[in-house]
Amino acid sequence: MSCVMYNGWAHVIMRNEPSDVNLVARYMLKREPGGSTSYVVALRGIENVLEQNPKEYVPVALFMTDGEMESDGCEAVLQRIMDTYHHSTG
pLDDT digits (tens, 9 = 90+) for 24-70: 777 777 767 666 678 888 899 999 999 988 888 888 888 888 777 77
Judged by DSSP in three states, 14 sits in: strand
Q: Is residue 90 domain-resident? A: no
The answer to whether position 14 is within a domain reads: yes
State the residue range of the domain holding 43: 3-85
- Whether 28 is covered by a domain: the verdict is yes
Rounded to a whole number of angstroms, the distance between the first and last alpha carbons of the chain is 24
- Asked, for residue 74, whether it belongs to a domain, the answer is yes
Burial degree of 6 (CB within 10 A; 0-12, 13-18, 19+): buried
Does residue 88 have a pLDDT over 60?
Answer: no
Give per-residue pLDDT as tens, 1-23: 888 888 777 888 788 888 777 77
User: How many structural domains does the chain have?
Assistant: 1
68 membership: H or E segment, kind and range: none
Q: Supply the pTM of this predicted model.
A: 0.73
> Looking at residue 47, what is its pLDDT?
92
